[in-house]
């Protein structure tokens, strides 16, 4: 009875107070974060403050397409269930009338948070600006006040393009107490992270050299720079540590979030790249190898000593459908990020709190998947599920030989799609599948070998994901750095109506997809395990759960009571 009353109240708030028109929305997610309506993109300034998680984000209050950039603001106690608050920043000042663009939050001495964000004027010339909480004792940080010193960093140097000068990182202190911050940009097509220094967080000067730059990338958006512990999954926020610490430099460009690892010397402000640079050689580290994961941001969660990663998940069904739906964009499931045991790359895994939404567990163990076989996983809600499966491969000496030219995993996945037949693979999952498999999204593996080792390829095949012609059906792939002779091949997949987040090799490779099935929606969606390879594989274990919906409470502005005479 209480639940029914709660839903009546929420529906009343949605319809009457917020003016939301509720219609059937088959692509609306149940446990991913998104506003009730309109456009959302980059996560901004994620923060854990006085026991409360904060997520700020780029938001258009008036439309389902980009524009009127405002900082939306929502809070949570578990990173799963959220309450929307009033906007934190609005584009109302001369330096940000063109939009309050992306930025970060830094905690100043004494524990006071400060927003450093990009403002664009009416000519879209970009500068960096400050905002402080009106009441730092308020754990919800409901009101923010812009600094009278704004803009504090302007693109006054002649070599900086003022229309490509944005997205400041979280700032950090070096050994002499100086603050440092990175700002994304480019000079003559060379992408870079400009570095600025300050003693008081108000007066900033540009360093002689950028922290890093690359001729292969073009403009850097949403840079991020942070330490990761060696031989530990614990997060770190100590930029002065040099022992057992590496540093991650991430930049968003060419529609993906790329990163490199290296060592940072706070005394000299030098970042030494450990191996190859962005897009150099055969190494191309990305947070996510899908095509709709972008503009990510991390923060250190001091409550649980971990580093959390968020990203904007982009729609893939066109602007006209965004307008029709009345919304566009969502956030990825928050991921914990740490350094792999090899020290060569990062690992990502959904936060443990998301498991609180699991129900109706289905378990399968020690099941052989013969060549050409497939079976349906029943007993769960396939459109809203969490699936964790582990595959065991016998007789790996029979794996097919990989050609030396097969160095591009995305191209390889496109050419050798889910309907092809190899030896070991394709094997994996068919998700958001219709009853007759007219619609299906495949997430699968293929295993090859060369002269020295076995190579695991992870793919998604979106070619049959939807009957709609408006949908981007590009497939993606990645090589997973695991040794199947020593370890089973694992795949965890979170399915939420129009988004599929897959984690291969326990988080060594991640692929996110947006899909918009016409037939396989809600109760009509099905989940299958398949093997079209010529050799058998074995399911060591499969655990699958239906997922409950997260609670996302809309903002309701309190109306002032009339004054009685």
CATH number of the domain bearing residue 518 = 2.60.120.560
- Predicted local distance difference test score (pLDDT) of residue 18: 44
Say whether both 314 and 423 belong to one domain: no
Residue 36 has pLDDT above 70, yes or no: yes
Q: Tell me if 561 is assigned to some domain.
A: no
3-state SS string for 113-140: EEEEEEEECCCCCEEEEEEEECCCCCCC
pLDDT, mean of residues 399-426: 93
Position 558 confidence tier, pLDDT thresholds 50, 70, 90: low
Q: Looking at the DSSP assignment, which residues form a beta bridge with residue 187?
A: 190
Q: Which of 350, 373, 405 is the last residue before a domain boundary?
A: 350
Q: Which residues contact 243 (CB under 8 A, 6 or more apart)?
A: none
- Predicted local distance difference test score (pLDDT) of residue 117: 98
Q: What is the dihedral of CA 397, 410, 354, 484, to 10 degrees?
A: 10
Query: Into how many domains does the chain fold?
Result: 2
Q: What is the dihedral of CA 394, 396, 397, 398, to 10 degrees?
A: 80
CATH number of domain containing 218: 2.115.10.20
Say whether both 255 and 377 belong to one domain: no
Q: And the tokens for 429?
A: 């999952």
- Predicted local distance difference test score (pLDDT) of residue 16: 42
pLDDT, mean of residues 230-235: 95
Helix (H, G, I), strand (E, B) or coil at 128: strand
Q: And the tokens for 487?
A: 């370890």
Residue 13 has pLDDT above 50, yes or no: no
The closest of 157, 73, 155, 170 to 120, measured between CA atoms, is: 155
- Predicted local distance difference test score (pLDDT) of residue 556: 67
Residues counted in the chain: 565
- Predicted local distance difference test score (pLDDT) of residue 294: 98
Work out the mean pLDDT of the chain and round it to a whole number: 93
> What are 393-410's pLDDT values in tens digits?
988 989 999 999 999 999
Say whether both 334 and 371 belong to one domain: no
> What are 313-348's pLDDT values in tens digits?
999 999 999 999 999 999 999 999 999 999 999 999
Say whether both 312 and 434 belong to one domain: no
Q: Tell me if 285 is assigned to some domain.
A: yes
Whether the Cβ atoms of residue 315 and residue 244 lie closer than 8 Å to each other: no
Say whether both 313 and 462 belong to one domain: no
Q: What span, in angstroms and rounded, lies between the C-alpha atoms of 43 and 57?
A: 4
- Predicted local distance difference test score (pLDDT) of residue 451: 87
Say whether both 275 and 408 belong to one domain: no
Host domain of residue 510: 358-547
Say whether both 204 and 334 belong to one domain: yes
Strands 441-449 and 400-401: what pairing? parallel
Q: Tell me if 557 is assigned to some domain.
A: no
> What are 151-189's pLDDT values in tens digits?
999 999 999 999 999 999 999 999 999 999 999 999 999
Q: Which residues contact 159 (CB under 8 A, 6 or more apart)?
A: 187
More confident residue, 139 or 555: 139
More confident residue, 408 or 16: 408
pLDDT, mean of residues 455-462: 97
Q: Tell me if 23 is assigned to some domain.
A: no
**Residue labelled with tokens 């495949």:** 442
Residue 2 has pLDDT above 90, yes or no: no
Q: Tell me if 121 is assigned to some domain.
A: yes
Residue 23 has pLDDT above 60, yes or no: no
Q: Tell me if 554 is assigned to some domain.
A: no
Say whether both 363 and 290 belong to one domain: no
pLDDT, mean of residues 7-30: 57
Position 24 confidence tier, pLDDT thresholds 50, 70, 90: low
Q: 301 exposed, middle or buried (CB, 10 Å; 0-12, 13-18, 19+)?
A: buried
- Predicted local distance difference test score (pLDDT) of residue 6: 46
More confident residue, 283 or 417: 417
Helix (H, G, I), strand (E, B) or coil at 543: strand
Q: Tell me if 161 is assigned to some domain.
A: yes
Residue 354 has pLDDT above 50, yes or no: yes
> What are 38-78's pLDDT values in tens digits?
999 999 999 999 999 999 999 999 999 999 999 999 999 99
Say whether both 335 and 393 belong to one domain: no
Say whether both 339 and 399 belong to one domain: no
Residue 443 Cα distances to 49, 390, 505, angstroms = 38, 13, 13
Residue 1 has pLDDT above 50, yes or no: no
Residue 273 has pLDDT above 60, yes or no: yes
Say whether both 155 and 215 belong to one domain: yes
Return the active site residues: 42
Say whether both 435 and 542 belong to one domain: yes
More confident residue, 283 or 127: 127
Residue 546 has pLDDT above 70, yes or no: yes
Q: Tell me if 16 is assigned to some domain.
A: no
Residue 531 has pLDDT above 70, yes or no: yes
- Predicted local distance difference test score (pLDDT) of residue 565: 37
- Predicted local distance difference test score (pLDDT) of residue 275: 77
Q: Which of 321, 350, 379 is the last residue before a domain boundary?
A: 350
Whether the Cβ atoms of residue 184 and residue 155 lie closer than 8 Å to each other: no
Q: 255 exposed, middle or buried (CB, 10 Å; 0-12, 13-18, 19+)?
A: exposed
Q: Which of 297, 321, 350 is the last residue before a domain boundary?
A: 350
The closest of 324, 287, 315 to 498, measured between CA atoms, is: 315
Whether the Cβ atoms of residue 75 and residue 140 lie closer than 8 Å to each other: yes
Q: What span, in angstroms and rounded, lies between the C-alpha atoms of 565 and 555?
A: 31
């Amino acid at each position: 009875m209480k639940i029914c009353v709660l839903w009546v109240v929420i529906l009343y708030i949605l319809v009457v107070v917020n003016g939301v028109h509720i219609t059937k929305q088959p692509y609306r997610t149940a446990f991913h974060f998104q506003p009730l309506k309109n456009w959302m993109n980059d996560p901004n300034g994620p923060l854990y403050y006085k026991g409360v998680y904060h997520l700020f984000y780029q938001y258009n209050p008036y439309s389902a397409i980009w524009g009127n950039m405002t900082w939306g603001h929502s809070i949570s106690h578990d990173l799963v269930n959220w309450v929307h608050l009033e906007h934190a920043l609005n584009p109302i000042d001369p330096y940000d009338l063109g939009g309050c663009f992306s930025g970060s939050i830094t905690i100043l001495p004494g524990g006071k948070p400060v927003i450093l964000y990009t403002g664009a004027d009416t000519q879209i010339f970009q500068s960096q600006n400050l905002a402080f909480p009106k009441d730092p004792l308020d754990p919800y940080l409901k009101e923010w006040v812009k600094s009278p010193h704004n803009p504090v960093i302007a693109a006054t140097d002649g070599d900086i393009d003022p229309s490509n000068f944005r997205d400041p990182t979280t700032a950090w202190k070096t050994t002499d107490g100086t603050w440092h911050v990175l700002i994304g940009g480019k000079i003559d097509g060379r992408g870079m992270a400009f570095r600025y220094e300050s003693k008081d967080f108000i007066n900033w000067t540009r360093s002689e050299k950028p922290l890093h730059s690359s001729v292969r990338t073009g403009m850097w958006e949403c840079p991020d720079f942070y330490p990761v512990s060696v031989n530990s999954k614990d997060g770190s926020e100590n930029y002065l540590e040099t022992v057992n610490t590496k540093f991650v430099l991430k930049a968003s460009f060419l529609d993906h979030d790329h990163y490199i690892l290296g060592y940072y010397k706070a005394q000299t402000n030098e970042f030494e790249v450990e191996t190859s640079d962005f897009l150099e050689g055969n190494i191309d580290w990305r947070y996510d190898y899908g095509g709709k994961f972008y503009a990510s941001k991390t923060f250190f969660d001091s409550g649980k000593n971990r580093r959390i990663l968020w990203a904007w998940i982009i729609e893939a069904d066109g602007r006209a459908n965004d307008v029709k739906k009345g919304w566009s964009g969502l956030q990825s499931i928050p991921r914990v990020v740490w350094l792999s045991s090899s020290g060569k790359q990062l690992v990502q895994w959904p936060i443990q709190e998301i498991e609180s939404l699991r129900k109706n567990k289905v378990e399968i163990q020690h099941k052989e998947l013969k060549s050409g076989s497939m079976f349906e996983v029943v007993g769960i809600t396939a459109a809203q599920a969490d699936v964790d499966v582990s595959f065991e491969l016998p007789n790996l000496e029979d794996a097919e030989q990989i050609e030396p030219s097969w160095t591009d995993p995305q191209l390889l996945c496109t050419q050798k799609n889910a309907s092809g037949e190899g030896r070991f693979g394709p094997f994996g999952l068919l998700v958001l599948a219709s009853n007759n498999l007219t619609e299906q999204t495949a997430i699968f593996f293929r295993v090859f070998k060369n002269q020295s080792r076995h190579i695991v390829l992870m793919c998604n095949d979106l070619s049959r994901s939807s009957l709609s012609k408006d949908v981007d059906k590009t497939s993606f792939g990645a090589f997973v750095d695991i040794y199947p002779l020593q370890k089973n091949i694992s795949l965890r997949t979170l399915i939420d109506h129009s988004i599929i987040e897959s984690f291969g090799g326990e988080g060594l490779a991640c692929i996110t997809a947006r899909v918009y099935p016409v037939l396989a929606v809600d109760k009509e969606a099905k989940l299958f395990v398949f093997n079209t390879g010529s050799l058998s594989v074995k399911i060591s274990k499969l655990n699958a759960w239906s997922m409950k919906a997260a609670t996302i409470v809309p903002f309701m502005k309190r109306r002032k009571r009339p004054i009685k005479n």
